[in-house]
Amino acid sequence: MIPLFSTSQVREIDEFAFNNLKMPGILLMENASLQIFSFIKEKIIALPDIRKIGFVCGKGNNGGDGFAAARHFANDGYEVTAIYFGNENEFSGDAAVNFRILNSLASDNNKIHLKLYESEKDIRVLNGCGVIVDAMLGSGSVGTPREPFLSILRELNIYRAIKIAVDIPTGLNSDTGYFEEAFKADLTVTLGEFKKGLFVGKAPEVCGELVKGNIGVPSLYFDNLKVDDYLIEPEDVIDALPQKSKISHKYSTGKVLVIAGSGKLPGAALFTVKAALKAGCGAPVLAFPKSVRKFIHKNLPEVVVESYQDENTEIFRVKNIGEIEKRLSWTDVLAIGPGLGRDTETLDAVRTIIKKRKCEKMVIDADALFAIGDSEYKKYNLKGFVLTPHHGEFANLLGIDVNELIKDVLGYGKKFSNDTKSFLVLKGAPTIIFNPKGTAFVNTTGNPGMAKFGTGDVLTGALAGLIAQSNNIESAVLTGVYLHSLAADLLLKKYTEYGYTASDILSSLPNAINFLRKSFA
């Protein structure tokens, strides 16, 4: 796991370095600027036509990092232009030092240009820059940037140049990942440690590639800070893969009951139960309307189908629960929801099953989530269950607008999982898993091609299949989410993000497991 820190924690370490390690701020800034220089140089080294780099530097430490990085590029033979704001005596102490150094060098170097910002037309001095560096506000800024920064970032966002953000794109909240308007970076060089707001919410829209710059503070000092947000690493997944015994049989490798699909949406049931199989489950059973079971038998010969009487309604109803009562007691995990539909009778049946808790391990998705939406979930004991909403479904669960949710996905997710003692898999870019203690795990695999019908159904089945084979729900959920998205990533070379489907992800699940195993062989 890679820990993610809050802005206040990173600031706390900076103060610790200054007060306890006796590292002056100017040294930390110099270390930061060298990292910025190094990462940008690495990105443009293969682009010899880029010889002019522009910097937009605020009055604080973020701007100071920019001034210092501009100096390194000037010393390396690049032409640099730095826009700055206000008088030198308005800069923070270390930023003022680096401004003075750059200003002094400019008197003897005609490739260094400093420009005091006075109006929007001053942005034109950056015309011709192959790289533009945002060093305006940094992680200390919260909310929509004030003027003139708001107008500047709007202007910069339309420039045809490689855009770099120092520490964090201006306008982005480094704790929540929310922004109303922000600098759109191709590369973000964050300093010290990874901040959680760089990975969640709307952050992926503006951060581009993310790299971490070491400012000289040993990582062991960060180890002492309490963290409850993490990035998932492949090592976490390979260690959690279910181990198959040489004497395994179909019932010892997991029993899953899937209540999914209807006459209108039979495909969701196929995706879900097939994914449980592909994830290694030995005995998946599908409960499905009798009047349309021929569709399932034709397309799913490997799975046992528990047909229930539906009198040609093609939906699941409360009266059908008795017909699958034995299976509810038999199964290790119940997966419920995909493609069930939202008929009143179906929603009532879902609520009855959740309330009775015949199964202590349950994956609740799609229409089953709708059944307990608009805060109805508070009436039920969800302890130990796994809920897999996308953002719209989660907002409906909470009874809030999705635009409100996106302002603080970590906060809402942690509160929900902690209050309900459930596991929350918040599907998105990226998908975030929350455990009952309120710890968040951010997935690091996946791509935009996954935004298609059926991919969520595949995830539900994969999660149920892995949970059925494991004694640790958390590990199984982390593994399922990671492998599901890795399976999609492995399809990119052949199909690109445009061409693959949920069926392709389903077929690619074994490849993802094999790829992971080979990576650690």
Query: For residue 107, how many C-alpha atoms fall within 13 Å in the half-sphere facing its CB?
Result: 5
**Is the preceding omega at residue 430 within 30 degrees of 0, hence cis?**
yes
Give the residue from 193, 225, 257 where a domain finishes.
Answer: 225
What one-character DSSP code corresponds to residue 471?
A: S
- Side chain identity at 377, as an amino acid letter? Y
Q: Let me know whether 411 and 264 are in one domain.
A: yes
Q: What is the pLDDT of residue 479?
A: 96
User: Can you give the pLDDT at residue 193?
Assistant: 87
**Backbone phi, then psi, for 86, in 5-degree steps?**
75, -175
Helix (H, G, I), strand (E, B) or coil at 61: helix
Domain of 475, in residue numbers: 234-519
What is the predicted pLDDT for the residue at 92?
83
SS3 33: helix
DSSP state of 406: T
Q: Is 115 exposed, middle or buried (0-12, 13-18, 19+ CB in 10 A)?
A: middle
pLDDT of 6 reads 92
Residues 146-164 as b or e (16 or more Cβ within 10 Å = b): eebbbebbeebbeeebbbb
- Listed residues 225, 250, 271: the one ending a domain: 225
According to the model, what pLDDT value does residue 247 have? 65
Out of 162, 196, 225, a domain closes at 225
Helix (H, G, I), strand (E, B) or coil at 112: strand
CB 184 within 8 A of CB 155: no
Which pair of tokens denotes residue 253? 């490798």
Same domain membership, residue 486 and residue 435 = yes
Same domain? For 208 and 280 the reply is: no
- β-sheet bridge partners, residue 53: 80, 131
Instruction: List the one residue out of 457, 249, 155, 460 whose CA is nearest residue 334.
Output: 460
Q: How far apart are CA 91 and CA 467, in angstroms?
A: 55
Contact between residue 197 and residue 168 where contact means Cβ atoms under 8 Å apart: yes
What integer pLDDT is reported at residue 118 of this predicted model?
A: 92
For residue 411, CA distances in Å to 7, 78, 227, 443, 492 come to 15, 44, 14, 17, 33
Cα angle: 196, vertex 8, 87; to 5 degrees: 110
Find, among 201, 168, 193, 196, the residue nearest to 182 by Cα.
Answer: 168
**Residue 383 to residues 3, 114, 335, 359, 377: CA-CA distances in angstroms?**
26, 60, 15, 11, 11
- 252 with 197, same domain: the answer is no
Residues 271 and 149 in one domain: no
Give me 177's structure tokens.
């990942």
Identify whether residues 175 and 67 lie together within a single domain: yes
Calculate the CA dihedral of residues 409, 415, 416, 418 and round it to 10 degrees. 130
d(CA 303, CA 276): 10
Residues 6+ apart with CB under 8 A from 51: 77, 78, 79, 130
Alpha-carbon distance of 70 to 26, in angstroms, equals: 15
Q: How many CB atoms lie under 10 A from the CB of residue 397?
A: 24
From first to last of its 521 residues, the chain has per-residue pLDDT tens of: 999 999 989 888 888 888 888 889 899 999 999 999 999 999 998 888 899 999 999 999 999 999 999 999 999 999 999 999 988 888 988 999 999 999 999 988 989 999 999 998 999 999 999 999 999 998 877 788 999 999 999 999 999 999 999 999 999 999 999 999 999 999 999 998 899 999 999 999 999 999 999 888 877 777 778 899 999 999 999 988 887 777 677 776 789 999 999 999 999 999 999 999 999 998 999 999 999 888 887 888 788 899 999 999 999 999 999 999 999 999 999 999 999 999 999 999 999 999 999 899 999 999 999 999 999 999 999 999 999 999 999 999 999 999 999 999 999 999 999 999 999 999 999 999 999 999 999 999 999 999 999 999 999 999 999 999 998 999 999 999 999 999 999 999 899 999 999 999 999 999 999 999 988 87
Q: For the chain, what is the domain count?
A: 2
Residue 305 and residue 196 in one domain: no
Which CATH number characterizes residue 267's domain? 3.40.1190.20
In 19-148, beta strands by DSSP E: 52-57, 79-84, 112-116, 131-135
- Are 271 and 358 found together in one domain? yes
Please give the model's pTM, rounded to 2 decimal places.
0.92
Q: 171 and 98 in one domain?
A: yes
* Tokens matching residue 98: 């680096």
- If phi > 0 it is left, if psi is from -120 to 50 it is alpha, else beta; for residue 438 that is left
Residue-level pLDDT at 148: 94
* CATH number, position 57: 3.40.50.10260
Same domain, 186 and 317: no
- How many residues does this entry show for the chain? 521
Same-domain check for residues 271 and 180: no
Residues 191 and 266 in one domain: no
